[in-house]
Amino acid sequence: RTPLVIDTDPGIDDALAILLALASPEVDLQLVTTVHGNVELAQTTQNALRVLHLAGRPDVPVAAGAAGPLVHPLPERAGHVHGAAGLGGVELPASPATVDPRPAVVALADLLMAHEPGTVTVAPIGPLTNIALLLHVFPEAAARIGRVVWMGGSATRGGNVTAAAEFNAWADPEAAQAVLRSGLAVTMVGLDVTMPTVLTEAGIERFRDTGGRVGKTAAGILRQYVDSARDRYGIDGVVVHDALALTEAIVPGTLTTTRRDVVVDTTLGAGRGQTLVDRRAVAGHGVEVAESVDSAAAVEFLVERLSSYGT
């Protein structure tokens, strides 16, 4: 089983991603670190604790990380998409667990130093602030990461939070730039593959009806997201971006990737947060950019795994 860390800002699709990982025997979720993003850090941390408790895994440690981006404060968060408290208006029962006393970067470094180099997968599904800090504060630990599977960016689809930028890249472009240039083995799971991967209402009904209490709660968390997707993008169903990144972390090779150099726009203009994917020959370290996906298979994987909570 691959040791796994999820770095997250729950977030509706973050919650789904955590539940997917916990239902997957291929990976062993050993740590959740939280970051600012969809909502404020205190709320993402509380949500992470509650999602783990919902899944019956309050033993997984949750360590809180950065409360804001590295350099420039954010003008807005994403409460309009995820609900003011981040989980689509659903109030999950409080967890008996408390937050780990260590800062996220310390918890991450401890875990990485306790494993053989190259064995741990880190799946950041929010702004990359914590991972950028890890690179700066504990470079030796960061170098031991096996794979970084990041949900963020966009190669060809423009943005979702602005015309140019995907939310996680936009929410800390300086951090994204540091991580994408770090030389770590990064896979960028961007809007190119997430947007076509739509979880339909029929799929949601399947795990609502067969996935026990967890499946029913997951369907409830998604309800507001379904409405938001219909209003904003005219999609019937939802795009659970972060769950697709986790699918790639759980089953490497789910997505077809190409090695590319990626530059993040860190200027303060209209392009801020845009991921510029270079289509010329790779000259730098390069990252694996996810370019195509079997969306039907990915959605089926998610629905089956969430349904398995009922058995």
Which residues are known catalytic residues?
241
Residues 172/161, Cβ–Cβ less than 8 Å: no
159 contributes a contact to Ca ion by CB under 5 A: no
CA distance 273 to 213: 38
CA distance 204 to 259: 34
CB of 160 to ligand BDR, least distance (A): 5
- Which range touches Ca ion (CB under 5 A), out of 12-20, 49-57, 82-90, 178-186? 12-20
160 contributes a contact to ligand BDR by CB under 6 A: yes
For residue 214, which amino acid is it? V
166 contributes a contact to ligand BDR by CB under 6 A: yes
Partners of 149 in the β-ladder? 187
Tokens of 78: 């994403």
Reduced to 3 states (helix: H, G, I; strand: E, B; else coil), residue 32 is: strand
**How many Cβ atoms are within 10 Å of 38's Cβ, its own excluded?**
28
Q: Which of 168, 177, 182, 274 binds ligand BDR (CB under 6 A)?
A: 168
Q: Which of 7, 14, 172, 288 binds ligand BDR (CB under 6 A)?
A: 14
218 contributes a contact to ligand BDR by CB under 6 A: no
Kindly list the distances between the CA atom of residue 74 and the CA atoms of 43, 171, 172, in Å, as whole numbers in the listed order.
16, 7, 8
167 contributes a contact to ligand BDR by CB under 6 A: yes
Nearest Cα residue to 56 out of 212, 251, 249, 242: 212
Residues 155/165, Cβ–Cβ less than 8 Å: no
Geometric angle at alpha carbon 24, from 125 and 246, rounded to 5°? 20
Is 141 or 249 the residue whose CB approaches ligand BDR more closely? 249
Nearest Cα residue to 10 out of 69, 102, 85, 76: 85
Longest dimension (CA), the chain: 52
- Which range touches ligand BDR (CB under 6 A), out of 50-58, 61-69, 162-170, 175-183? 162-170
Which positions from 249 through 308 interact with ligand BDR, judged by CB under 6 A?
A: none
Nearest Cα residue to 197 out of 291, 297, 267: 297
Is 88 or 215 the residue whose CB approaches ligand BDR more closely? 88
192 contributes a contact to ligand BDR by CB under 6 A: no
- Which range touches ligand BDR (CB under 6 A), out of 23-31, 68-76, 164-172, 277-285? 164-172
- Which range touches Ca ion (CB under 5 A), out of 184-192, 228-236, 242-250, 282-290? 242-250
Residue 153's binding partner among ligand BDR, Ca ion, none (Cβ under 5 to 8 angstroms by kind) is: none
Is 9 or 100 the residue whose CB approaches Ca ion more closely? 9
CB of 50 to ligand BDR, least distance (A): 16
Q: Which of 125, 178, 218, 255 binds ligand BDR (CB under 6 A)?
A: 125
Which positions from 107 through 146 interact with Ca ion, judged by CB under 5 A?
A: 125-126
Burial (0-12, 13-18, 19+ Cβ within 10 Å), 240: buried
Token pair 């770095």: residue:
7
Site for ligand BDR, rule CB under 6 A:
11, 13-14, 38, 78, 81, 125-126, 151, 160, 166-168, 241-242
Site for Ca ion, rule CB under 5 A:
9, 11, 14, 125-126, 242
